Structure 1
Amino acid sequence: MRMSGPLVPDLLVKHVGGVPQARRLTLMRIGAQSALDSGLVAYFPAPKSFTGEACAELQVHGSPAGVRAILRALTAEAGVRLAEAGEFTRRAFENGKLDLTAVEGLGDLIEAETENQRRQALARYQGGLSRRIDAWREALLDLRAEIEARLDFSDEGDVEETLPEMFASDLAALRDELSDALASLTRGRIVREGVRVALAGPPNAGKSSLLNALAKSDIAIVTDEAGTTRDVREVPVDLGGQLVILVDLAGLRETDSKAEAEGVRRARAEIGRADLVLWLTAPDVDSAEQPPQTHAPVWRVAAKVDIHPRPAGADLAVSVVSADGLADLESRLAAFADELAAGGEPALLSHERDRAAVEAAREAVVRAQARLDAPELAAESLREASQALERLVGRLDAERVLDRLFLSFCIGK
């Protein structure tokens, strides 16, 4: 159990018999009048704590009755209440211990399911993006100082009329850095959200059976009746440390059934969102449907090869019954996911908010480059670039994202 706030030392004195040595676990009895439990107590004085306030942690035996008794005793004190979802992290932000990008990194770390997600989230939480943003902000401040000095102090003897020779090249270098960061967004999104693999094809081609085989679980209903799958089903799997989202779709065909037609519509929409499409065909299914036109690669997968050998033109051949080709398919999916998420270092950008802010900053820098013959306009563009980055770390308009952001956190995080 965690506590944060100015009353923490008083609570420790009353309920555990004193304030233990800072940052050292101490075995103590818990309970003011009578013992409620015993456990290890850690104390973190302000401001050197996670929230920036006085904090304490009680490591108790964890029985429901014991926890309830301790919570009742603590919250009976005036000025003490249970924390709201994400409140500890929100206090850390408000007290300057974390910026918004680090807060988002902590949220991603809590939800990380794969090794790549853990690495990327940890890099963000530990300030990888914050440090890069600080460098961009410093570069912008230098550029703004040069141009605004000529606007405000043009009559001073030590301020030259023309901008320094390196001004334009420094501006171009900053634009290129922002562009490079934006280029990493797709890789960051892939790691954070997973590679979306759509299982598509005509009805009864074996899509749901393949989903069950890859997920190693009977998740999807499988029958020999065409149109069994009518909705979109997503199943996350970890392939070599990379999250892959398998998306089982309704079979594509013309139908008079309104329910099935809606499933087909949703299937086509999901194919448009996918990073990879597996187009399944089967020897016992007669269909004129062709693989869809989409931005994503399409792999032709011949299913049910236990019934009939692999046909010409298929990229892969599998049988759920005999397991033929499944290992090869998994290996190729893992390699494809690794290629999309390629890169030795975790991606800087991974959230839509990142893209919007860095893109706005880059566009403002490009406008400034085009306005160097009008210093007032160029200075305004550079100010807009700075503001876009300030919003990203939460120094401007933070309240617009705080409530939504912290609602996804656990109590006490």
Structure 2
Amino acid sequence: MWRGLWTLVARAARGPSRPCTRQGSGAPAPGSGATIFALSSGQGRCGIAVIRTSGPASGHALRSLTVPRDLPPARRACLRLLTDPRSGEPLDRALVLWFPGPQSFTGEDCAEFHVHGGPAVVSGVLQALGRVPGLRPAEAGEFTRRAFAHGKLSLTEVEGLADLIHAETEVQRRQALRQLDGELGHLCHGWAETLTKALAHVEAYIDFGEDDNLEDGILERADSQVQGLEVALNAHLRDARRGQRLRLGANVVVTGPPNAGKSSLVNLLSRKPVSIVSPEPGTTRDVLETPVDLAGFPVLLSDTAGLREGEGPVEQEGVRRARERLEQADLILAVLDASDLASPSTCNFLDTVVTPTIAQSHNGNSQRLLLVLNKSDLLLAGDPDLSPELSPHLLMSCLTGEGLDGLLEALRKELTAVCGDPSTGPPLLTRARHQHHLQGCLEALGHYKQAKDVALAAEALRIARGHLACLTSGGGTEEILDIIFQDFCVGK
């Protein structure tokens, strides 16, 4: 009944027409025939420093520097004396490891020297490796690039590794580990398999459409698969900005009328004196930014000028910049003086900033707002009387720190909504490149649905599948790979 269908499946899997310039798991690393070496641990004095090699001469390098000269058992640490290969001068006593390819990080023969971390020891071992024939210093990211070229890592896993190296907060670490573990890549491979099946059905109809043995409803089955994939892609694209915020940091803007305690709150959250605190209104004249870890989330915290009619041209420019920054905010921390809620400046701020923002959020605006009532230490008794539409609000004192834990918990919930929770749900899109290829795949599926000719519909499915392939492989284009690997350090 399905005569020739497996042939069509194989044909569909042979590398479709793709928007990328070349097919494959990735371009070979620059100078991949050479053996590279580098310090892979951090610079400076440390207890242990790790020096790695990768390439065909790794075994020779290990024999040249160690006494005895034989290779240690694979993947087992051995204590060896390291000597200069020319002079025979002792360099250090170190643990050495031997990783014969392809069972190594890069897929090539690799060696590691775990030496004492003094600068003289590290320098001596690196100079000794440089005198071994066939070895050269590694370029930035070259170890990982070789792992990618040998199929040890997909491009999304490489990006996850880069994010893990640069992770500064708990949620960044969680997200990077999920991507390094291949969750996004596995998801894309599953989508590609769905497209392969749909393409096989369309190809079967093209080749055997007049054959009575062809099962009925074959095109309808392909349409159903495409429709389900469209739903999944749209869901991920709607969340695309969340993953990028989690990787790069959410934009949190502190705003309010003059003298409400905005600068005090910024200093409290950042745990350092970022802003000048003064009882004089209008002290902050410009936007002051500082990156902070708020409840485990990366945040760019901005202190802005108090919103009022400026007393002079400099303060007026500060107010203008503050309003401009508010439009770019992912989360607004609106700070009010809890002991002076009836003042004209507070009422004006509520009318012009807080109430409109809350109303827009109810209408689907992505901006979120937390209302912070500062200076609770000046209240005589009870909470201030606020109308329900101004919730949620938090009562605290920047002077005493009372209420800070409640604010941090509220920030955690808001930032989870803004950035997503990397511990649960499907993997997030963390880069514009991911969004570009998923959008391209979705557009190709739209062309499939509109195609009047079955052959054009099949070509649209090939293009859609090509975008998914580019997401995990990069299509082998050097420009894309150079951009991705430029953030890696030497030794990784």
Say which SS state the counterpart of residue 291 (structure 1) adopts: helix
Runs of 5+ consecutive residues of structure 2 not aligned to the other structure: 1-50, 358-364
Percent identity, aligned pairs only, is 40
Q: Is the 8 A contact 1:92 1:98 kept in 2?
A: yes
Which amino acid letter does the alignment assign opposite residue 178 of structure 1? Answer: L
- 1:340-389 deviation per Cα after TM superposition (whole angstroms, max 9, x unaligned): 42462463322222122112212221331232x42122122212211211
1:202 aligns with 2:249: no
RMSD (Å), alpha carbons: 2.7
Q: Distance in 2 between matches of 1:407 and 1:303?
A: 44
| Structure 1 residues 326-337: aligned runs within 5 Å | 326-337=404-415
Among 386, 409, 413, the residue aligned to 2:488: 409
Q: Taking CA–CA contacts closer than 8 Å with sequence separation of 6 or more, which of the two structures ends up with the larger relative contact order?
A: 2
Structure 1 segments of 4+ aligned residues over 6 angstroms from their partners = none
Query: CA offsets per residue over residues 162-191 of structure 1, 9 Å max, x none?
Result: 744422212212222222333443443343
TM-score by length of 1: 0.89
AA aligned to 2:447 is R
What's 1:230 paired with? 286
SS at match of 2:275: coil
Paired letter, 2:431: H
**Corresponding residue number in structure 1 for 2:372:** 301
Query: Aligned match of 2:80 in 8, 28, 34?
Result: 28
User: Per-residue deviation at 1:390?
Assistant: 1.5
Q: Secondary structure at the match of 1:60?
A: strand
Which is further off, 374-383 or 396-405? 396-405
1:322 pairs, out of 400, 417, 428, with 400
Query: What is the distance in 2 between the residues matched to 1:34 and 1:186?
Result: 57
Runs of 5+ consecutive residues of structure 1 not aligned to the other structure = none
Q: 8 Å contact 1:181–1:349 — kept in the other structure?
A: yes
Given residue 28 of structure 1, which amino acid in structure 2 is its aligned partner? R
Distance verdict in 2 for CA 1:258–1:54, change over 3 Å: farther
**In structure 2, which of residues 70, 91, 98 is the aligned counterpart of residue 18 of structure 1?**
70
Q: Does 1:276 align with 2:331?
A: yes
Alpha carbons 1:364, 1:384 under 8 Å: kept:
yes
Q: Which residue of 2 aligns with 1:350?
A: 430
Per-residue displacement from partner, 1:136-156 (whole Å, max 9, x unpaired)?
A: 111112222222344456677
- 1:222: how far off? 2.1
Kept in 1: contact 2:395–2:403 (CA 8 A): yes
8 A contact 1:119–1:346 mirrored in 2: no
Alpha-carbon distance change, 267 to 88 in structure 1, aligned in 2, over 3 angstroms: farther
Task: State the partner residue of 1:399.
Answer: 478
CA displacement at 1:48 relative to structure 2: 1.3
SS at match of 1:396: helix
- Corresponding residue SS for 2:377: coil
Alignment of 1:7-406 (within 5 A): 7-16=57-66, 17-31=69-83, 32=85, 33-151=88-206, 163-225=218-280, 226-239=282-295, 241-255=296-310, 260-282=315-337, 287=345, 288-289=348-349, 290-291=352-353, 293-294=356-357, 295=365, 296-308=367-379, 311-313=384-386, 315-340=393-418, 341-342=420-421, 344-345=424-425, 347-371=427-451, 373-396=452-475, 398-406=477-485
3-state DSSP of counterpart to 2:106: coil
Check 1:45–1:243 CA distance in 2 against 1; reply closer, same or farther (3 A cut).
same
Give the residue type in structure 2 aligned to 1:335: K
The answer to whether the 8 A contact 1:184-1:347 is kept is no
1:257–1:172 CA distance, 2 compared to 1 (3 A): same
1:224 partner SS:
coil
Question: 2:269, 2:294 within 8 Å by CA — same for their partners in 1?
Answer: no
Q: Which amino acid aligns with 2:371?
A: R
Question: Scaled by the length of structure 2, what TM-score is found?
Answer: 0.76
1:20/1:42 contact within 8 Å kept:
yes
Q: Secondary structure at the match of 1:344?
A: coil
Q: Which has the larger displacement, 250-259 or 178-187?
A: 250-259
Counterpart AA for 2:409:
S
Q: CA deviation at 1:29?
A: 0.9
Alpha-carbon spacing, 1:319–1:161, altered in 2? closer, same or farther (3 Å): closer
Tell me how far apart the structure 1 counterparts of residues 136 and 62 of structure 2 sit (CA, whole Å).
15
Deviations for 1:93-141, whole angstroms, at most 9, x for unmatched residues?
Answer: 1121111100011111112233322222111111111111111111112
